[in-house]
C-alpha cells in the first residue's frame, strides 16, 4: 500500500470546503489538511499588500508543519493576488481558484455574464485581464459583494440568515429588463468559494433562472492530473481541520460531508 499524498486546502474561512468537497470526491485516498485563516477573515476586506504579507509567510509555516504534496488555494480573493508569490517562494505545486470567466463566456447564450466575487476579487488586475482575454464579446458585469461570504459562514455555522440580505447582494448580477428581455444576464460566475454554500438560496432568490458557474470540479480535475494515477492509497488517509484563530471546531456534523464522510481531527 502506497503512502497517501497530503493535500493542503487553504481559504480565509469555510468557503474552501466547496472546493475540498470536489477534490475529495476526485481523490478519496489522499490525506487532507484544511486550513481556514479565520483569524484574518474576511480577506475581501483587506488590501492587496496586507493579503500578500499575510498569506506568503503563513503558507511557509503550514508547509513546514504539514509537508503537503500539493496546495490548493481555495480562495479567489487570495489566488488572484498571491499565486505568483507562492510559486516563486516554494517549490511544490499550487492550484489556485480564479473566476471562471472563460467557461462562462463560452456557454452564455445572451452574451451577458456577471461575476459575483468579493470586492477585492472584482478589483484585481488579474480579474480584469481574464475579462480582456476571455470575454469574447460578452458584456461582463463585475459585482463586488461586501457581505455574502460572511452570510455564507453564518449560514453554515447554523445562524439564521435573512433572504433579504442575500437578495440585496445578488441583485446587481441581474442585468436586463426581466422575463421578456432576450438579452438579460443568463450566467453568473461564483467567484468566491463561499457562495456555493448558499447555492440553493441563490437559485431561489434569483429574479430569473441563470447558470451558476462554480469552478470547483475543474480544480479537482487539475489536482488529480497533477498528482498522477491514484494507486492503492486509501487505508491510511485522514483529514484535519485547522483554524488559524486556534478555535476548536464545533461543526463536526456540518463539516463531515465536505470531507467525504470523514470526521476531521
Ligand atoms: N472564499 C474567499 C474567496 O473565494 C473569500 C472570502 C473572504 O472575503 O475572505 O474569494
Is 41's C-beta closer than 6 angstroms to any atom of ligand 1? Answer: yes
Closest ligand 1 atom to Cα of 97: 4
Q: Which band of pLDDT confidence, cut at 50, 70 and 90, is reported for residue 234?
A: low
Q: What is the pLDDT of residues 196-221, one digit of tens each?
A: 999 999 999 999 999 999 999 999 99
CB atoms within 10 A of CB 57: 11
Q: Which band of pLDDT confidence, cut at 50, 70 and 90, is reported for residue 128?
A: very high
Q: Does 195 have pLDDT greater than 80?
A: yes
Q: What is the pLDDT of residues 137-150, one digit of tens each?
A: 999 999 999 999 99
Taking the CA atoms of residue 97, residue 110, residue 147 and residue 102 in that order, the dihedral angle to the nearest 10 degrees is 10
CATH class, range 101-214: alpha beta
- 65 Cα to the center of ligand 1, angstroms: 24
The residue whose CA is least distant from atom 2 of ligand 1 is: 75
- 18 Cα to the center of ligand 1, angstroms: 12
Enumerate the active-site residues.
75, 192
Q: Does 75 have pLDDT greater than 80?
A: yes
Is 38's C-beta closer than 6 angstroms to any atom of ligand 1? Answer: no
Q: Does 56 have pLDDT greater than 70?
A: yes
- Tell me the chain's radius of gyration from C-alpha atoms: 18
- 3 Cα to the center of ligand 1, angstroms: 32
In angstroms, the CA 231 to CA 218 distance is 21
Domain range 6-97+217-259, its CATH number among 3.40.50.300, 3.50.50.60, 3.40.50.1860, 3.20.20.150:
3.40.50.1860
Question: What was the pLDDT predicted at 172?
Answer: 98
Question: What was the pLDDT predicted at 236?
Answer: 54
- In this chain, the answer to whether the domains covering 6-97+217-259 and 101-214 adopt an identical fold is yes
User: How is the chain split into domains, by residue range?
Assistant: 6-97+217-259, 101-214
Q: What is the pLDDT of residues 83-102, one digit of tens each?
A: 999 999 999 999 999 999 99
Question: What was the pLDDT predicted at 233?
Answer: 61
Closest ligand 1 atom to Cα of 41: 9
Amino acid at each position: 500500500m502506497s503512502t497517501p499524498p497530503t493535500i493542503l486546502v487553504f481559504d480565509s474561512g469555510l468557503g474552501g470546503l466547496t472546493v475540498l468537497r470536489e477534490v475529495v470526491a476526485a481523490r478519496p485516498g489522499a490525506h487532507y489538511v484544511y486550513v481556514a485563516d479565520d483569524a484574518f477573515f474576511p480577506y475581501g476586506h483587506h488590501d492587496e499588500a496586507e493579503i500578500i504579507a499575510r498569506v506568503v509567510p503563513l503558507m511557509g509555516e503550514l508547509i513546514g508543519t504539514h509537508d503537503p504534496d500539493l496546495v490548493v488555494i481555495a480562495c479567489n480573493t487570495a489566488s488572484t493576488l498571491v499565486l505568483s508569490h507562492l510559486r516563486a517562494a516554494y517549490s511544490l505545486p499550487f492550484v489556485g481558484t480564479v473566476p471562471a470567466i472563460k467557461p462562462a463566456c463560452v456557454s452564455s447564450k445572451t452574451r451577458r455574464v456577471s461575476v459575483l466575487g468579493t470586492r477585492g476579487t472584482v478589483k484585481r488586475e488579474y480579474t480584469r485581464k481574464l475579462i480582456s482575454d476571455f470575454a469574447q464579446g460578452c458584456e461582463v458585469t463585475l459585482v463586488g459583494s461586501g457581505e455574502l461570504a460572511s452570510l455564507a459562514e453564518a449560514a453554515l455555522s447554523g445562524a439564521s440568515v435573512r433572504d433579504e440580505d442575500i437578495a440585496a447582494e445578488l441583485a446587481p448580477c441581474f442585468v436586463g429588463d426581466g422575463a421578456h428581455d432576450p438579452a438579460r444576464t443568463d450566467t453568473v460566475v461564483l467567484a468566491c468559494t463561499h457562495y456555493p454554500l448558499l447555492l440553493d438560496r441563490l437559485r431561489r432568490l434569483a429574479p430569473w433562472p441563470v447558470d451558476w458557474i462554480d469552478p470547483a470540479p475543474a480544480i479537482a480535475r487539475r489536482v488529480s492530473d497533477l498528482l498522477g494515477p491514484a494507486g492503492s492509497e486509501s487505508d491510511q488517509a485522514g483529514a484535519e481541520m485547522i483554524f488559524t484563530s486556534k478555535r476548536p471546531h464545533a461543526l463536526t456534523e456540518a463539516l463531515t460531508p465536505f470531507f467525504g464522510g470523514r470526521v476531521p481531527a
